[in-house]
Structure 1
Amino acid sequence: MQDLQLAPLPLILVFACITGLLVGSFLNVLILRLPARMKYSWRQECEEFLGKEASTGDEPPGIILPGSHCPVCKNPIKPWHNIPVISYLLLRGKCHTCKTSISPRYPIIELLSGLLTLYAVIHFGVTAQALAAIVLVWALIALTFIDIDEQLLPDSITLPLVWLGLLINSQSLFASPVDAIYGTVFAYLVLWSIYHLFRLITGK
Protein backbone atom coordinates (compact mmCIF):
# COMPACT_ATOMS: atom_id res chain seq x y z
CA MET A 1 0.00 0.00 0.00
CA GLN A 2 2.86 2.39 0.81
CA ASP A 3 4.50 1.76 -2.58
CA LEU A 4 1.21 2.57 -4.27
CA GLN A 5 0.91 5.78 -2.27
CA LEU A 6 4.20 6.94 -3.78
CA ALA A 7 2.89 6.58 -7.34
CA PRO A 8 1.66 9.70 -9.19
CA LEU A 9 -1.99 10.44 -8.46
CA PRO A 10 -3.13 10.36 -12.13
CA LEU A 11 -1.56 6.91 -12.53
CA ILE A 12 -3.31 5.67 -9.39
CA LEU A 13 -6.67 6.97 -10.62
CA VAL A 14 -6.25 5.39 -14.05
CA PHE A 15 -5.28 2.09 -12.41
CA ALA A 16 -8.31 2.26 -10.12
CA CYS A 17 -10.69 2.97 -12.98
CA ILE A 18 -9.30 0.19 -15.19
CA THR A 19 -9.44 -2.25 -12.29
CA GLY A 20 -13.05 -1.28 -11.64
CA LEU A 21 -13.95 -1.78 -15.31
CA LEU A 22 -12.35 -5.22 -15.37
CA VAL A 23 -14.08 -6.25 -12.17
CA GLY A 24 -17.32 -4.91 -13.62
CA SER A 25 -16.89 -7.31 -16.53
CA PHE A 26 -16.53 -10.16 -14.05
CA LEU A 27 -19.57 -8.92 -12.11
CA ASN A 28 -21.64 -9.27 -15.27
CA VAL A 29 -20.73 -12.96 -15.34
CA LEU A 30 -21.34 -13.37 -11.62
CA ILE A 31 -24.76 -11.70 -11.80
CA LEU A 32 -25.81 -14.04 -14.60
CA ARG A 33 -24.28 -17.32 -13.47
CA LEU A 34 -24.50 -17.34 -9.67
CA PRO A 35 -28.32 -17.40 -9.49
CA ALA A 36 -28.45 -20.08 -12.19
CA ARG A 37 -26.06 -22.28 -10.23
CA MET A 38 -27.99 -21.65 -7.02
CA LYS A 39 -31.27 -22.72 -8.63
CA TYR A 40 -29.63 -25.80 -10.09
CA SER A 41 -28.23 -26.73 -6.68
CA TRP A 42 -31.59 -26.17 -4.98
CA ARG A 43 -33.34 -28.35 -7.55
CA GLN A 44 -30.80 -31.13 -7.05
CA GLU A 45 -31.17 -30.93 -3.26
CA CYS A 46 -34.98 -31.02 -3.48
CA GLU A 47 -34.94 -34.04 -5.76
CA GLU A 48 -32.51 -35.80 -3.45
CA PHE A 49 -34.65 -34.97 -0.41
CA LEU A 50 -37.80 -36.25 -2.13
CA GLY A 51 -36.02 -39.40 -3.22
CA LYS A 52 -36.42 -38.60 -6.89
CA GLU A 53 -33.93 -39.40 -9.58
CA ALA A 54 -31.73 -36.42 -10.32
CA SER A 55 -32.85 -34.48 -13.37
CA THR A 56 -30.78 -34.68 -16.49
CA GLY A 57 -30.88 -30.95 -17.16
CA ASP A 58 -27.64 -29.35 -18.20
CA GLU A 59 -25.59 -28.00 -15.34
CA PRO A 60 -25.15 -24.23 -15.60
CA PRO A 61 -21.64 -22.97 -16.35
CA GLY A 62 -19.31 -22.23 -13.48
CA ILE A 63 -18.55 -18.74 -12.27
CA ILE A 64 -15.05 -18.71 -13.76
CA LEU A 65 -15.14 -21.40 -16.44
CA PRO A 66 -16.10 -21.82 -19.20
CA GLY A 67 -15.40 -18.43 -20.69
CA SER A 68 -18.11 -16.06 -21.81
CA HIS A 69 -20.07 -16.89 -24.95
CA CYS A 70 -22.94 -15.46 -26.93
CA PRO A 71 -26.22 -16.78 -25.48
CA VAL A 72 -27.70 -17.04 -29.00
CA CYS A 73 -25.01 -18.48 -31.28
CA LYS A 74 -23.00 -19.98 -28.37
CA ASN A 75 -19.70 -18.88 -29.91
CA PRO A 76 -17.01 -18.03 -27.34
CA ILE A 77 -16.31 -14.34 -26.94
CA LYS A 78 -12.73 -13.60 -27.91
CA PRO A 79 -10.65 -11.60 -25.41
CA TRP A 80 -10.42 -8.60 -27.75
CA HIS A 81 -14.21 -8.61 -28.03
CA ASN A 82 -14.53 -8.59 -24.26
CA ILE A 83 -12.75 -5.36 -23.35
CA PRO A 84 -15.00 -3.51 -20.89
CA VAL A 85 -17.16 -0.79 -22.49
CA ILE A 86 -14.78 -0.32 -25.45
CA SER A 87 -15.66 -3.61 -27.16
CA TYR A 88 -19.36 -2.89 -26.78
CA LEU A 89 -18.93 0.46 -28.51
CA LEU A 90 -16.71 -0.91 -31.27
CA LEU A 91 -19.12 -3.78 -31.95
CA ARG A 92 -22.03 -1.32 -31.81
CA GLY A 93 -23.73 -3.39 -29.17
CA LYS A 94 -23.91 -6.57 -31.25
CA CYS A 95 -22.36 -10.02 -31.17
CA HIS A 96 -19.36 -10.17 -33.51
CA THR A 97 -20.51 -13.52 -34.94
CA CYS A 98 -24.30 -13.54 -35.18
CA LYS A 99 -24.96 -9.79 -34.85
CA THR A 100 -27.49 -10.33 -32.08
CA SER A 101 -28.00 -7.21 -29.99
CA ILE A 102 -26.19 -7.18 -26.65
CA SER A 103 -27.95 -5.68 -23.66
CA PRO A 104 -26.61 -2.23 -22.76
CA ARG A 105 -26.69 -3.35 -19.16
CA TYR A 106 -23.30 -5.02 -19.58
CA PRO A 107 -21.35 -1.82 -20.29
CA ILE A 108 -23.49 0.05 -17.76
CA ILE A 109 -22.40 -2.33 -14.98
CA GLU A 110 -18.78 -2.12 -16.14
CA LEU A 111 -18.91 1.66 -16.22
CA LEU A 112 -20.67 1.81 -12.86
CA SER A 113 -18.00 -0.38 -11.30
CA GLY A 114 -15.20 1.65 -12.86
CA LEU A 115 -16.58 5.03 -11.81
CA LEU A 116 -17.45 4.00 -8.26
CA THR A 117 -14.02 2.41 -7.82
CA LEU A 118 -12.48 5.64 -9.04
CA TYR A 119 -14.65 7.69 -6.69
CA ALA A 120 -13.66 5.54 -3.70
CA VAL A 121 -9.98 6.22 -4.37
CA ILE A 122 -10.60 9.93 -4.89
CA HIS A 123 -12.64 10.14 -1.69
CA PHE A 124 -10.52 7.98 0.63
CA GLY A 125 -7.13 8.18 -1.06
CA VAL A 126 -4.82 5.18 -1.22
CA THR A 127 -5.88 3.77 2.13
CA ALA A 128 -7.33 0.67 3.71
CA GLN A 129 -10.65 2.52 3.82
CA ALA A 130 -10.61 2.88 0.05
CA LEU A 131 -9.91 -0.83 -0.39
CA ALA A 132 -12.75 -1.78 1.94
CA ALA A 133 -15.11 0.65 0.23
CA ILE A 134 -14.22 -0.74 -3.19
CA VAL A 135 -14.93 -4.32 -2.11
CA LEU A 136 -18.25 -3.15 -0.67
CA VAL A 137 -19.12 -1.33 -3.90
CA TRP A 138 -18.39 -4.38 -6.02
CA ALA A 139 -20.47 -6.61 -3.77
CA LEU A 140 -23.37 -4.16 -3.72
CA ILE A 141 -23.39 -3.88 -7.51
CA ALA A 142 -23.65 -7.66 -7.80
CA LEU A 143 -26.33 -7.86 -5.11
CA THR A 144 -28.36 -5.03 -6.63
CA PHE A 145 -28.61 -6.54 -10.09
CA ILE A 146 -29.13 -10.09 -8.84
CA ASP A 147 -31.96 -8.76 -6.68
CA ILE A 148 -33.46 -6.91 -9.66
CA ASP A 149 -33.35 -10.06 -11.77
CA GLU A 150 -34.18 -12.77 -9.26
CA GLN A 151 -35.46 -11.09 -6.08
CA LEU A 152 -32.86 -12.82 -3.97
CA LEU A 153 -29.65 -11.91 -2.17
CA PRO A 154 -27.17 -14.81 -2.25
CA ASP A 155 -25.74 -15.85 1.12
CA SER A 156 -22.44 -16.50 -0.64
CA ILE A 157 -22.11 -12.72 -1.02
CA THR A 158 -24.03 -11.30 1.93
CA LEU A 159 -22.59 -13.44 4.72
CA PRO A 160 -18.91 -12.86 3.86
CA LEU A 161 -19.78 -9.18 3.55
CA VAL A 162 -21.21 -9.15 7.08
CA TRP A 163 -18.16 -10.83 8.59
CA LEU A 164 -15.79 -8.68 6.57
CA GLY A 165 -17.57 -5.55 7.78
CA LEU A 166 -17.30 -6.65 11.40
CA LEU A 167 -13.66 -7.60 10.93
CA ILE A 168 -12.51 -4.33 9.40
CA ASN A 169 -14.45 -2.32 11.96
CA SER A 170 -12.80 -4.24 14.77
CA GLN A 171 -10.03 -1.75 14.00
CA SER A 172 -12.54 1.14 13.86
CA LEU A 173 -11.90 1.65 10.16
CA PHE A 174 -15.33 3.19 9.55
CA ALA A 175 -17.12 2.77 12.86
CA SER A 176 -16.44 1.53 16.36
CA PRO A 177 -16.78 -2.23 16.94
CA VAL A 178 -19.89 -1.65 19.05
CA ASP A 179 -21.52 0.53 16.39
CA ALA A 180 -20.65 -2.07 13.75
CA ILE A 181 -22.36 -4.82 15.74
CA TYR A 182 -25.45 -2.68 16.35
CA GLY A 183 -25.54 -1.78 12.67
CA THR A 184 -25.35 -5.43 11.65
CA VAL A 185 -28.17 -6.40 13.99
CA PHE A 186 -30.32 -3.49 12.81
CA ALA A 187 -29.75 -4.30 9.13
CA TYR A 188 -30.62 -7.95 9.73
CA LEU A 189 -33.83 -7.02 11.54
CA VAL A 190 -34.84 -4.65 8.74
CA LEU A 191 -34.39 -7.33 6.07
CA TRP A 192 -36.07 -9.94 8.29
CA SER A 193 -39.04 -7.62 8.79
CA ILE A 194 -39.35 -6.89 5.08
CA TYR A 195 -39.28 -10.60 4.28
CA HIS A 196 -41.98 -11.53 6.78
CA LEU A 197 -44.09 -8.50 5.91
CA PHE A 198 -43.96 -9.54 2.26
CA ARG A 199 -45.04 -13.07 3.18
CA LEU A 200 -47.86 -11.69 5.32
CA ILE A 201 -49.16 -9.44 2.55
CA THR A 202 -48.75 -11.81 -0.40
CA GLY A 203 -49.14 -15.16 1.33
CA LYS A 204 -46.05 -16.43 -0.51
Structure 2
Amino acid sequence: MNLSFITAPFGFVLGTIIGSFLNVCIYRLPREESIIFPGSHCPKCNSPIKWYDNIPIISYLLLKGKCRYCGEKIPPIYPLVELLSGLLTAGIFFRFGISFDSFYYSILTWFLIVISAIDIKELMVPVKPCYIVMVLGILLSPFTHSVSLIDSILGASLGAGIILFIIESYFIFRNKEGMGYGDANIMAVIGAFLGWKKVFFVIFFASLIGAIVGIIFIISGKDSESPLPFGPFLAIGGYLTIFLGDLLLKFYLGG
Protein backbone atom coordinates (compact mmCIF):
# COMPACT_ATOMS: atom_id res chain seq x y z
CA MET A 1 0.00 0.00 0.00
CA ASN A 2 1.29 3.43 -0.93
CA LEU A 3 1.30 5.35 2.35
CA SER A 4 1.80 8.64 0.50
CA PHE A 5 -1.96 8.88 0.09
CA ILE A 6 -2.27 8.81 3.87
CA THR A 7 0.67 11.03 4.74
CA ALA A 8 -0.25 13.74 2.23
CA PRO A 9 -3.67 14.47 3.83
CA PHE A 10 -1.96 14.48 7.22
CA GLY A 11 0.53 17.01 5.86
CA PHE A 12 -2.30 19.14 4.49
CA VAL A 13 -4.16 19.27 7.82
CA LEU A 14 -0.94 20.00 9.71
CA GLY A 15 0.00 22.66 7.16
CA THR A 16 -3.32 24.50 7.42
CA ILE A 17 -3.10 24.51 11.23
CA ILE A 18 0.43 25.90 11.08
CA GLY A 19 -0.75 28.29 8.37
CA SER A 20 -3.02 29.98 10.91
CA PHE A 21 0.05 30.69 13.04
CA LEU A 22 1.99 31.83 9.97
CA ASN A 23 -0.64 34.54 9.46
CA VAL A 24 0.15 35.82 12.94
CA CYS A 25 3.87 35.89 12.08
CA ILE A 26 3.26 37.69 8.78
CA TYR A 27 1.22 40.39 10.53
CA ARG A 28 3.31 40.86 13.68
CA LEU A 29 6.95 40.32 12.72
CA PRO A 30 7.29 43.49 10.61
CA ARG A 31 5.74 45.41 13.53
CA GLU A 32 8.20 43.78 15.95
CA GLU A 33 5.32 42.46 18.06
CA SER A 34 5.30 39.19 20.01
CA ILE A 35 4.02 36.26 17.99
CA ILE A 36 2.92 34.51 21.20
CA PHE A 37 1.13 37.13 23.29
CA PRO A 38 -1.54 38.33 23.10
CA GLY A 39 -3.57 35.57 21.46
CA SER A 40 -5.29 35.96 18.10
CA HIS A 41 -7.67 38.91 18.08
CA CYS A 42 -9.47 41.20 15.68
CA PRO A 43 -7.13 44.08 14.76
CA LYS A 44 -10.08 46.51 14.73
CA CYS A 45 -12.17 45.71 17.84
CA ASN A 46 -9.45 43.68 19.66
CA SER A 47 -11.96 40.94 20.50
CA PRO A 48 -10.20 37.61 21.18
CA ILE A 49 -10.84 35.05 18.47
CA LYS A 50 -12.44 31.91 19.89
CA TRP A 51 -11.05 28.51 18.90
CA TYR A 52 -14.14 27.70 16.84
CA ASP A 53 -13.60 30.90 14.85
CA ASN A 54 -9.96 30.00 14.26
CA ILE A 55 -10.38 26.73 12.37
CA PRO A 56 -8.22 27.09 9.24
CA ILE A 57 -10.14 27.98 6.06
CA ILE A 58 -13.44 26.62 7.41
CA SER A 59 -14.01 29.42 9.94
CA TYR A 60 -13.34 32.03 7.27
CA LEU A 61 -16.01 30.51 5.05
CA LEU A 62 -18.54 30.12 7.88
CA LEU A 63 -18.03 33.73 9.00
CA LYS A 64 -18.22 34.90 5.37
CA GLY A 65 -14.89 36.64 5.76
CA LYS A 66 -15.97 38.94 8.60
CA CYS A 67 -15.25 39.36 12.30
CA ARG A 68 -18.01 37.79 14.39
CA TYR A 69 -18.11 40.79 16.75
CA CYS A 70 -17.59 43.99 14.74
CA GLY A 71 -18.21 42.81 11.19
CA GLU A 72 -14.78 43.97 9.98
CA LYS A 73 -13.83 42.24 6.73
CA ILE A 74 -11.06 39.68 7.08
CA PRO A 75 -8.57 39.94 4.18
CA PRO A 76 -8.65 36.84 1.94
CA ILE A 77 -4.87 36.54 2.34
CA TYR A 78 -5.52 34.72 5.64
CA PRO A 79 -7.27 31.63 4.21
CA LEU A 80 -4.97 31.75 1.17
CA VAL A 81 -1.89 31.47 3.41
CA GLU A 82 -3.52 28.57 5.27
CA LEU A 83 -4.37 26.85 1.99
CA LEU A 84 -0.89 27.42 0.56
CA SER A 85 0.72 26.13 3.73
CA GLY A 86 -1.52 23.06 3.60
CA LEU A 87 -0.75 22.27 -0.03
CA LEU A 88 3.02 22.79 0.24
CA THR A 89 3.23 20.77 3.46
CA ALA A 90 1.18 18.01 1.85
CA GLY A 91 3.75 17.94 -0.96
CA ILE A 92 6.57 17.52 1.56
CA PHE A 93 4.84 14.65 3.38
CA PHE A 94 3.89 13.03 0.06
CA ARG A 95 7.57 13.04 -0.89
CA PHE A 96 9.18 12.06 2.43
CA GLY A 97 6.36 10.30 4.31
CA ILE A 98 6.05 10.47 8.08
CA SER A 99 9.69 11.11 8.88
CA PHE A 100 12.02 13.59 10.52
CA ASP A 101 12.94 14.90 7.06
CA SER A 102 9.30 15.84 6.45
CA PHE A 103 9.17 17.98 9.58
CA TYR A 104 12.62 19.37 8.81
CA TYR A 105 11.71 20.54 5.31
CA SER A 106 8.28 21.66 6.50
CA ILE A 107 9.98 24.11 8.87
CA LEU A 108 11.87 25.55 5.90
CA THR A 109 8.67 25.67 3.84
CA TRP A 110 6.75 27.53 6.57
CA PHE A 111 9.60 29.99 6.94
CA LEU A 112 9.64 30.63 3.20
CA ILE A 113 5.89 31.34 3.18
CA VAL A 114 6.20 33.87 6.00
CA ILE A 115 9.27 35.63 4.66
CA SER A 116 7.86 35.80 1.12
CA ALA A 117 4.60 37.35 2.30
CA ILE A 118 6.45 39.93 4.40
CA ASP A 119 8.82 40.75 1.54
CA ILE A 120 5.92 41.25 -0.87
CA LYS A 121 3.89 43.39 1.56
CA GLU A 122 6.64 45.39 3.26
CA LEU A 123 9.59 45.14 0.85
CA MET A 124 11.76 44.12 3.80
CA VAL A 125 13.08 40.97 5.43
CA PRO A 126 13.23 40.83 9.25
CA VAL A 127 16.67 39.71 10.38
CA LYS A 128 15.93 38.00 13.72
CA PRO A 129 13.57 35.31 12.35
CA CYS A 130 16.08 34.49 9.61
CA TYR A 131 18.86 34.05 12.16
CA ILE A 132 16.74 31.90 14.47
CA VAL A 133 15.53 29.58 11.69
CA MET A 134 19.04 29.36 10.20
CA VAL A 135 20.48 28.23 13.54
CA LEU A 136 17.58 25.78 13.93
CA GLY A 137 18.34 24.31 10.52
CA ILE A 138 22.00 23.85 11.41
CA LEU A 139 21.23 22.25 14.78
CA LEU A 140 18.69 19.82 13.30
CA SER A 141 20.71 18.89 10.20
CA PRO A 142 22.59 15.95 11.81
CA PHE A 143 19.25 14.17 12.33
CA THR A 144 18.30 14.25 8.64
CA HIS A 145 19.14 11.73 5.93
CA SER A 146 20.38 14.24 3.38
CA VAL A 147 22.21 17.10 5.13
CA SER A 148 25.19 16.82 7.45
CA LEU A 149 26.22 19.43 10.01
CA ILE A 150 29.17 20.52 7.87
CA ASP A 151 26.98 20.69 4.74
CA SER A 152 24.51 22.85 6.65
CA ILE A 153 27.11 25.29 7.96
CA LEU A 154 28.78 25.57 4.55
CA GLY A 155 25.37 25.95 2.90
CA ALA A 156 24.43 28.88 5.12
CA SER A 157 27.80 30.55 4.51
CA LEU A 158 27.84 29.96 0.75
CA GLY A 159 24.20 30.96 0.28
CA ALA A 160 24.66 34.27 2.04
CA GLY A 161 28.09 34.82 0.48
CA ILE A 162 26.90 34.46 -3.12
CA ILE A 163 24.05 36.94 -2.62
CA LEU A 164 26.36 39.42 -0.86
CA PHE A 165 28.82 39.12 -3.75
CA ILE A 166 26.04 39.85 -6.24
CA ILE A 167 24.82 42.82 -4.19
CA GLU A 168 28.26 44.41 -3.88
CA SER A 169 29.21 43.72 -7.51
CA TYR A 170 25.97 45.27 -8.78
CA PHE A 171 26.53 48.34 -6.63
CA ILE A 172 30.11 48.74 -7.85
CA PHE A 173 29.20 48.52 -11.54
CA ARG A 174 25.80 50.25 -11.46
CA ASN A 175 26.30 52.53 -8.44
CA LYS A 176 22.88 51.60 -7.06
CA GLU A 177 21.33 48.83 -5.03
CA GLY A 178 19.98 45.90 -7.02
CA MET A 179 19.11 43.38 -4.29
CA GLY A 180 18.47 43.84 -0.60
CA TYR A 181 20.67 42.41 2.13
CA GLY A 182 17.60 40.57 3.38
CA ASP A 183 17.96 38.25 0.38
CA ALA A 184 21.33 37.14 1.77
CA ASN A 185 19.61 36.27 5.05
CA ILE A 186 17.00 34.21 3.20
CA MET A 187 19.68 32.32 1.29
CA ALA A 188 21.57 31.66 4.53
CA VAL A 189 18.47 29.90 5.88
CA ILE A 190 17.86 27.95 2.68
CA GLY A 191 21.52 26.93 2.50
CA ALA A 192 21.44 25.76 6.12
CA PHE A 193 18.52 23.42 5.37
CA LEU A 194 19.59 22.17 1.94
CA GLY A 195 23.39 22.10 2.15
CA TRP A 196 26.03 23.89 0.10
CA LYS A 197 25.79 21.73 -3.02
CA LYS A 198 22.14 22.63 -3.63
CA VAL A 199 22.60 26.37 -3.12
CA PHE A 200 23.45 26.79 -6.80
CA PHE A 201 20.20 25.14 -7.91
CA VAL A 202 18.18 27.46 -5.66
CA ILE A 203 19.80 30.54 -7.15
CA PHE A 204 19.35 29.15 -10.67
CA PHE A 205 15.63 28.54 -10.17
CA ALA A 206 15.17 31.91 -8.45
CA SER A 207 17.01 33.78 -11.21
CA LEU A 208 15.08 31.98 -13.94
CA ILE A 209 11.69 32.68 -12.36
CA GLY A 210 12.69 36.26 -11.54
CA ALA A 211 13.74 36.86 -15.14
CA ILE A 212 10.44 35.49 -16.47
CA VAL A 213 8.42 37.66 -14.08
CA GLY A 214 10.57 40.68 -14.95
CA ILE A 215 9.95 40.17 -18.67
CA ILE A 216 6.21 39.87 -18.03
CA PHE A 217 6.29 43.14 -16.07
CA ILE A 218 8.08 44.90 -18.93
CA ILE A 219 5.70 43.53 -21.56
CA SER A 220 2.70 44.56 -19.47
CA GLY A 221 4.01 48.12 -19.27
CA LYS A 222 4.95 48.12 -15.59
CA ASP A 223 7.51 50.64 -14.40
CA SER A 224 10.89 48.94 -14.81
CA GLU A 225 12.27 50.96 -11.89
CA SER A 226 9.63 49.69 -9.47
CA PRO A 227 11.19 47.48 -6.77
CA LEU A 228 10.55 43.77 -7.29
CA PRO A 229 11.12 41.66 -4.16
CA PHE A 230 13.48 38.77 -4.87
CA GLY A 231 12.68 36.88 -1.66
CA PRO A 232 9.64 35.08 -3.12
CA PHE A 233 11.74 33.85 -6.06
CA LEU A 234 14.35 32.48 -3.66
CA ALA A 235 11.52 30.82 -1.74
CA ILE A 236 10.17 29.13 -4.86
CA GLY A 237 13.69 28.08 -5.81
CA GLY A 238 14.23 26.63 -2.35
CA TYR A 239 10.99 24.66 -2.39
CA LEU A 240 11.66 23.26 -5.87
CA THR A 241 15.16 22.25 -4.82
CA ILE A 242 13.76 20.23 -1.90
CA PHE A 243 12.20 17.93 -4.52
CA LEU A 244 14.61 18.23 -7.44
CA GLY A 245 17.95 18.84 -5.72
CA ASP A 246 19.05 15.21 -5.39
CA LEU A 247 17.98 14.41 -8.95
CA LEU A 248 19.86 17.41 -10.31
CA LEU A 249 22.95 16.50 -8.32
CA LYS A 250 22.93 12.97 -9.74
CA PHE A 251 22.47 14.35 -13.24
CA TYR A 252 25.25 16.92 -12.78
CA LEU A 253 27.63 14.34 -11.34
CA GLY A 254 26.82 11.87 -14.11
CA GLY A 255 24.87 9.44 -11.93
Which residue of 2 is the match for residue 75 of structure 1?
A: 47
Which residue of 2 is the match for residue 174 of structure 1?
A: 146
Matches within 5 A, 1:50-199: 60=33, 62-170=34-142, 173-193=145-165, 196=168, 197=170
Superposition TM-score, scaled by structure 2 size: 0.59
RMSD, matched Cα: 2.8
C-alpha distance in 1, partners of 2:144/2:44? 49
1:201 alignment partner AA: K
Which residue of 2 is the match for residue 18 of structure 1?
A: 13
Deviation at 1:111, TM superposition (A): 0.9
Aligned length: 174
C-alpha distance in 1, partners of 2:171/2:124? 13
Which residue of 1 is the match for residue 253 of structure 2?
A: none
C-alpha distance in 2, partners of 1:144/1:77? 26
Task: Find 1:201's aligned residue among 168, 172, 176.
Answer: 176
Which residue of 2 is the match for residue 40 of structure 1?
A: none
Q: Is the 8 A contact 2:4 2:95 kept in 1?
A: no
C-alpha distance in 2, partners of 1:176/1:76? 43
1:26 alignment partner AA: F
Structure with more relative contact order (C-alpha pairs < 8 Å, separation 6 or more): 1
Q: Which has the larger radius of gyration?
A: 1
Kindly, what percent of the aligned residue pairs are identical?
40
Say whether 1:35 aligns with 2:30: yes
Superposition TM-score, scaled by structure 1 size: 0.72
Unaligned runs of 5+ residues in structure 1 are: 1-7, 38-59
C-alpha distance in 2, partners of 1:146/1:116? 18
Note the alpha carbon deviations across 1:37-65, whole angstroms, 9 max, x for none.
Answer: 2xxxxxxxxxxxxxxxxxxxxxx5x3112
**Structure in which a larger fraction of residues adopt helix:** 2
1:27 alignment partner AA: L
Q: Is the 8 A contact 1:171 1:177 kept in 2?
A: no
Cα gap change, 1:202/1:178 in structure 2, threshold over 3 Å: closer, same or farther? closer
Q: Is the 8 A contact 2:15 2:86 kept in 1?
A: yes
Which residue of 2 is the match for residue 43 of structure 1?
A: none
Deviation at 1:119, TM superposition (A): 1.2
Deviation at 1:156, TM superposition (A): 2.6
